[in-house]
Amino acid sequence: MPPSGTRKRPISGAVPAVGLADGLELSLDYLQAQSEDEQLSQQQEALLAVDLDSSASRLLAIAFGQWPRKDDPSLASEERPIARDLYDPDDNAWPKMPRPRHARLADNKSRHSPRTRSQRAPQRNHCFFPEEPPSVTEMIRQPETRPISPEQLVAEVKGVYAGLVMIESKCIEYDSSQETKQLSQEQFQALIALHRSVLHEHHDFFLASQHPSASEALRRLASKHAMPARMWRHGIHSFLELLRHKLPESMEHMLTFIYTAYSMMTLLYDTVPAFEDTWIECLGDLGRYRMAIEDDDIRDRETWTGVSRHWYSMAADNSPTTGRFYHHLAILAQPNALQQLYFYAKSLCVPIPFPSARESVMTLFDPLLNGSAQRLDAADAAFAFRYYVGISLCCLLMGFGAEHNVLMQALAKQQDDEEEEDGSTTEPESNPDEDFEQALRFAMKTQEIVLRRWGDKNTLSCIHTTLVFMLRMSQLPAAMSHLEDVYPWKLTSFMLNYLLNTMKTDPRIDAEEFPGPEKKGEKPVPLPEDYALRGLLFAEDFFPKGWFQNERLDETDRYLEAASKTLERQERILWIGRRIADSGKWLTWDEDACRFGVTSKYDVELEGLHDDDKD
């Protein structure tokens, strides 16, 4: 349910007309720089007085012992630009909450127009509409609406922003000054009222600046002045951190404010699509805060974990190359260590990595380093052969995105050469360090174990992800020079031949084109591991354009393992093997026998395999 006071409000027709060009020049930049222009200085002083008279500020003044004297001349002023409800400290009533801006604008309009409610109401003709008894409720007619001009929007944005800056400065002041102080219940409530007010002001600013009638220059103001980031930083995050450091005393107040902020963000997500990505990430962050403070009810914790995961997954879909979202998903994956490892690794091996994940991933390895590791249960052990392990191994070989890693250097070198487009490619002379050598031995041993189970369909997704990695490395001679002599090529050829012999349909492996839907015009249905590979550095150019643009698939449908998925996965693996064999350097393809093989360099005897096993 949207928070109170956040409905889309009508713009009063009494807003003074301002030239569009002049209004834009005198709007946000002018107010932030506090120009010495006399007219706007008077407006700022008036807005400051209004801010001091606002309910939220008075509530803060009462709570923090800063209430002005009754004989203060500022309270006797009759020339106030906006009528607000005042709180008399002598009254026994609790101060009123900040009123919605549309109500304040309505007050402005009432002062400019002397008409009363009865005068504005539609006149009834008693000859044709006889008077109804009082018990019958009169139907309320739809209110008249009028279009708003660009000049009125400019003036409205100026007014909203001026008030927003005043309340925002108070949020910054109080959030920083109350960190070490013990707060009373009244002070907590006052701070919540203040931050609720700044959220409402931001909401009004976005509605006005992103109005359909707004000009392009007016629409750009929110981005130019980083309004979404300021809303999160000063209106929500700083206050949540203040409340978090004062737990458990602030528990109820933190819950209240999380729900308030979440409602506001969902409202902005629905009404201001221009900043959809920001709202989605903020909703995920709020869900993670709510999950983190829930210790009593495990069901509530799981519910909010799912809510946060939903928003972060949506954010990752919109920006698959941003590692920050995968780091957050890793935190939500607890206690599934394999899934956590995959998300941490992916957050470091995308074009926009999240460096803090290096410290976070060590929390998974600490039990191993301390000798307190525990065995996985049967379910986790069976799942270990799936794509989480395959992608984690590939990221391990890339040094989790470390710049000094030899494979990362080869990737970066090719990107630089493509940008220069000079046609000359000089492979870098790089020597692998001890960390890479250890990672390489571990990864190849693991890959050999997986390939020896080629009859197990549970291993296919892991094999698929590692072959995507090897296909990319085969295009980089500098990278392949470190992998080709240790990769189990002969085991790979056995696995590929087994899939050829057991497939019930003819795989499409001869064509260079990616094996997509068989029917033309049919929407693609990616494999579950395709979403996991999406965004990784070594899979950037692997999938065809539009491969993930199937709106009919929701988050649940993506990971359904139907029987057809196994056939598609087998065909994909064979297609990748055929592409690697095209070079003839490692795998080979016998066109007459329709079988995979290896070059003589890698035709070695494999321990523990009989001739019957090779077919």
DSSP string, 501-523: HH-SS----SSSS----SSTTPP
What pLDDT sits at residue 59? 52
* 13-28: average pLDDT: 39
Fill in the amino acid letter for 178. Answer: Q
Instruction: Show the tokens assigned to 419.
Output: 């940008």
CB 86 within 8 A of CB 107: no
Q: For the chain, what is the largest distance between any 2 Cα atoms, rounded to a whole number of angstroms?
A: 107
Least confident range from 353-357, 415-419, 570-574: namely 415-419
Higher-confidence position of 123 and 349: 349
* 555-575: average pLDDT: 84
Higher-confidence position of 180 and 266: 266
- Winning range, highest mean pLDDT, from 57-66, 320-329, 420-429: 320-329
What pLDDT sits at residue 372? 56
pTM of the model: 0.74
Give dist(CA 218, CA 148) in Å, integer: 14
Determine phi and psi for 595, rounding to 5 degrees. -140, 155
CB 167 within 8 A of CB 194: yes
- Winning range, highest mean pLDDT, from 4-8, 94-98, 108-112, 187-191: 187-191
Higher-confidence position of 280 and 458: 280
Parse the chain into domains and list their residue ranges: 20-108+150-318, 402-420+429-614
pLDDT bucket at 493, cuts 50 / 70 / 90: very high
Give dist(CA 358, CA 361) in Å, integer: 5
* Residue closest to 268 by CA, chosen among 236, 239, 241, 309: 236
Instruction: Show the tokens assigned to 166.
Output: 């005043």
Asked whether the predicted pLDDT for residue 111 surpasses 50, the reply is no
Residues 371-402: tens digit of each pLDDT: 655 555 544 444 444 899 999 999 999 999 99
Q: Going along 420-565, which residue ranges are E strands?
A: none
Higher-confidence position of 95 and 489: 489
What pLDDT sits at residue 379? 47
- Winning range, highest mean pLDDT, from 91-100, 192-201, 421-430: 192-201
Query: Which residue bears the tokens 């839907």?
Result: 517
Average pLDDT over the chain reads 78
* 522-549: average pLDDT: 91
Higher-confidence position of 242 and 424: 242
pLDDT bucket at 208, cuts 50 / 70 / 90: very high
Cis status of the peptide bond prior to 248, with omega within 30 of 0: yes
Query: Which residue bears the tokens 């009432």?
Result: 110
